[in-house]
Amino acid sequence: MKKLKLAAAVALLFPALCVAQIPVSELDLTRFYLRVGASFVYPDDDNTPLKYQVLQDWDLYRTGWEVEDDTTWNASVVWRPLSYLGLEMLYIGGADHSLDLTNFHGYPGRDNIAFGNFSASSANLFINWYWMDETCLGQPYIGIGVNYTHFYDDELNAEFQNYLIDSGIAAGQGKLGAGHSWGGSAQLGLDWRLGHGRTWLINAAAIYTDASTDAVVTFPVNPGYDRLYSDIEFNPWTFNLGVTYEF
């Protein structure tokens, strides 16, 4: 599904770029936008169960995830050398997400357990296409690009730590590890100019990001260490709202 979403964005963008006739006389190498605002991050919950490398623990059989939404900040710079084309570098600051393990069988009468927490920040490079005339106050745009997501401050919740020890799976405290992700991204946005000739604009954008990581729980056993694994399909929808200043 995520690949289809990105493919649809590409299909919408590139035919329009191919037919757009942009005179070289419109080239303006000095036009830049600076954007700042808030980001509302809604991760996907479609992830693989937590399991060993080969075998599956019964208490964790067919478990799933609930990933909490969060709000953070964003900043971007847009270089728009042509009226219909822009290059945008967008950074979305660290969003903090808590993880619950669902369909959990470890405690009678319960089907979930608090698993842990992690933070995620991302950098995106977009090529944006603007299809409205520059005289219009509203400037909608569509963009495709590449995304780098960094996962950090990952830790296990005390409740899951206790479960590992009480169930005999672990001989001591474990730790959660998650790395980084490279993937595609697509966005649909709008800049609304606050009057003709003004340099301030209101910005809103919806962004889909293809971002996944391998979550690894490492814990001590007698003797040595063991691990549990899960492929976390983070893949968030992010909604940005902020202001734009045109230089």
pLDDT at 29: 86
pLDDT tens string 32-79: 999 999 999 999 877 677 777 666 677 887 788 889 999 999 999 999
Any idea which residue has 């690009």 for tokens?
145
Domain segments of the chain as ranges: 2-13+34-246
- Provide the pLDDT confidence category of residue 230 given band limits of 50, 70 and 90: confident
Q: Are 220 and 170 in contact (CB under 8 A)?
A: yes
CA–CA separation, 201 vs 136, rounded Å? 12
CATH of domain 2-13+34-246: 2.40.160.20
**CA dist 202 → 35, 87, 115, 244, 246 (Å):** 9, 18, 39, 6, 11
Question: Distance from CA of residue 138 to its chain's centroid?
Answer: 27
Beta-bridged to residue 24, according to DSSP, are none
Angle, vertex CA 12, rays to CA 11 and CA 16, nearest 5:
110
